[in-house]
Structure 1
């Protein structure tokens, strides 16, 4: 999953990194920049995010930031890629640990819980989702993300014994992707108790939709 995304990203130079860090010090600097941007996004909308504020939060010179990221959109792109890598790791974890031993309901419940526990916080996910409309490059990355996750969900349902035609499984997988995305904004704007309630109800609804594939 990660390799496919990076191949696609490499074709869009306007918002990709200027260069990849080759030294450990540079890699740590890039991580500080991304972590600072992520922290700022927990309490600020994307339109209020600036490269100068990110550099100040990361405690790096603005010139250093521009060595790796030509603009704010490139940082958003990199944050979204990082979220995609986390999502891919969650899928890998579920596939490795549960696919061959769990029934479909237990498997997908574990997958949903693992997806929810990624390092990218719910507020940042909400801001990143909204940022996908900023330009065509970001929209294309979002489409790649959705298609890759839907394909893997389809493969999981087949591996777990669904007898539905693949086209119907693909429709269910796409519906799941959009439904899961729709939960992000209300959770991001709720207190902890409300987040838990929305998450639990949302998970049960997701499992009910997945159950269609196994009737």
Structure 2
């Protein structure tokens, strides 16, 4: 209920009137059935504009930090994240990461739309980085269609490190669905998972025009943090 209140009465109208987002390829989003929206990730507000501009409800998997804050600020953030359809996941690795993927599969098996950033984190440079294979596993386990998405200029509206968004026009391009049914039953093959993930990243790069770098964005972040320490 809160999701639709925010989308229809408050956040949706505000975003449309203030940021005047444009959307191309809306017809490529299947009207029914399990769908993974695989998007590039250049700003924290990607998770606002994408679900609030589409007709179908979109569920994103968000890091657990957003749901565990203390006091009034933590309560407000937690309520807001739940309200815009985000689910808490633990990205610490091992069994926690497996449980997070299972949460995504459950959304898809119920016929829902799952938003995911295959890079695993925001791009630190604006380039497109290597995708994590969790997206491929969910594709095969849930037998879901994959729709590549490119976000434009959200990094200008909310650059990394800023708190208050700047008024900038943003855009969304929705690509044609990708079919990986030829790999059905092969979710245990890591070479297949890598192949699917790479194909998804190629399509995102085509839509976004970003330079592709075959390195994990998290590796780049860790290297930068170590250098600064």
Do they fold alike, i.e. is TM over 0.5?
A: no
Q: Tell me which structure has the larger Cα radius of gyration.
A: 1
- TM (normalized to structure 1)? 0.29
Return the structure number with greater helix share. 1
**Larger RCO (CA under 8 A, 6+ residues apart):** 2
